[in-house]
Amino acid sequence: MCVFFVLFSCAGSFMVVNASGRASGQKAHLYMPTLKENDTHCIDFLYSLSSRDGASPGTLNVYIKVNGGAQGNPVWNASDTVTEGWVKAELAISTFWPNSYQVIFEAVSVQGHPGFIAIDDIRVLAHPCRKAPHFLRLQNVEVNVGQNATFQCTAGGKWSQHDKLWLQQWNGKDTALMVTRVVNHRRFSATVSVGDTSQRSTSRYRCVIRSDGGSGVSNYADLIVKAPPTPIAPPELLAVGATYLWIKPNANSIIGDGPIILKEVEYRTTTGNWAETHVVDAPTYKLWHLDPDVEYEIKVLLSRPGEGGTGPPGPPLITRTKCAGEWTRLPRLRWFVFSAVLTFLDWELLIEPTSETRRDEWDNKKKKEAFPSGMAA
């Protein structure tokens, strides 16, 4: 096991790991106190990788652990070559109160490469970093299952083609950012699509940039994947006629997530291949102009906000309209009264039909009345 130890010299003291004689992969850690900062700040430090033969003695990694969570992957590292004396690096960490974070330094040895890995003069400065970009607040993203989720990382500073930008997940998985554009001379942004939105979940991501002067790290933001709603129960049948079905959608108990912003009724005959969908804006809904004595299948569809927010149809209600009833005609009634003021009254009276099939015909029957001018009916 490697350990950091304090080395005292005429110029002062610093923390160092002797990597000589170590097996590959042995690690030493140095933990900074937990920090809760209220404003923009910068952490800088000096580091040195040295060896007698000029080969790198190992790797120096820096981790940023937030709210006591997972350590994740490094946000900064140095390993390729030995340094000429001390080199300064900056950490622009955009995590603020009430959240806390901890900086962890890690030295990793390489077998057969004797040398020293050292750090010194760690400072927390009350001003922005001069070289490492600072990220603006990363916003939460909510999508429905199966839809594209995109984060936008925006940082203050100048963008360089040599900078490395990526999205880092809470569990340590890194995703390279796909598109970077310069907003203006003081700001740039990058976007990335998160691939796995196949199931309902919540995960956390942050933006990381590595520049020549150090690294910038954003706050963690949530990726919330919601499941479109589906009714648990079929619609409830309230009333049935020869040409109508009156239902209650039963949309209060659902599988999936709300809020529900749209309710629709989909219906079809059980023997046909057509279907119609109607928007429902009341607690109950009446399907009109149906055929008598026909079996129908009725389902309810629910939608939540966002693209792809309509869930699969709920369980079906299968029911049949009533048979069309017959209606009978009474003999025509005529009433004739002859006088100086009234000419005649001719009224054809029918019994109200017993089925919806004949109701329109009944309502449209003409009743003829003749009255003198000024006389009320």
What is the tens place of the pLDDT at every residue in 122-177?
Answer: 999 999 999 999 999 999 999 999 999 999 999 988 788 888 889 999 877 888 77
Residue whose token pair is 């025509």: 332
Q: Regarding predicted confidence, which is higher, 32 or 19?
A: 32
220 lies in the same domain as 246: no
Whether residues 294 and 244 share a domain: the answer is: yes
Tell me, yes or no, whether 344 and 276 share the same domain: no
More confident residue, 371 or 294: 294
Name the residue type at position 156: G
- Same domain for 119 and 140, yes or no, is no
CATH number at residue 195: 2.60.40.10
Q: Taking residues 54-76, what's their average pLDDT? A: 91
Whether residues 68 and 145 share a domain: the answer is no
Identify which has the larger pLDDT, 120 or 343. Answer: 120
Percent of the chain with pLDDT over 70: 82
Helix (H) or strand (E) holding 257: none
Domain boundary among 175, 196, 226: 226
C-alpha–C-alpha distance, residues 62 and 119, integer Å: 11
pTM, entire model: 0.75
DSSP of 143-167: EETTS-EEEEEEEES---TT-EEEE
**In the chain, how many domains are there?**
4
Domain identity same for 314 and 362: no
- Residues 100 and 86 placed together within one structural domain of the fold: yes
∠ CA(136), CA(141), CA(144), 5° rounding?
Answer: 170
**Contact in structure between 312 and 230 (CB atoms under 8 Å):** yes
Which range, 99-113, 176-190, 331-345, has the best average confidence (pLDDT)?
99-113
> For residue 375, is pLDDT > 70?
no
Q: With 70 as the cut, is the pLDDT of residue 19 above it?
A: yes
- The residue segments making up the domain with residue 278 are 230-320
Higher pLDDT: 8 or 137? It is 137
Residue 326 lies in a domain: no
My answer on whether 194 and 105 are in the same domain is no
Residues 222, 234, single domain; the answer is no
Where do runs of H (alpha helix) occur along the chain?
A: 359-363
Q: pLDDT of 344-355, one tens digit each?
A: 555 554 454 544
Residues 6+ apart with CB under 8 A from 34: 68, 100, 101, 102
Q: Which of 68, 63, 67 is nearest to 168 (CA)?
A: 63
Lowest mean pLDDT among 23-27, 178-182, 225-229, 231-235: 178-182
Identify any residues that bridge with 322 across adjacent strands, giving them in sequence order.
none
Q: 278 φ, ψ to 5°?
A: -120, 140
Query: What's the CA gap between 75 and 166, in Å, rounded?
Result: 10
Q: Examine the pLDDT at 377 and tell me if it is beyond 80.
A: no
Q: What's the CA gap between 329 and 335, in Å, rounded?
A: 18
Q: Enumerate helices (H) and strands (E) in the chain, giving the number of each.
A: 1, 31
Tokens encoding 20: 């000589």
Nearest one of 126, 108, 152, 114 to 35, comparing CA atoms? 126
Mapping DSSP onto H, E and C, the string for 1-41 reads CCCCEEEEECCEEEEEEECCCCCCCCEEEEECCCECCCCCC
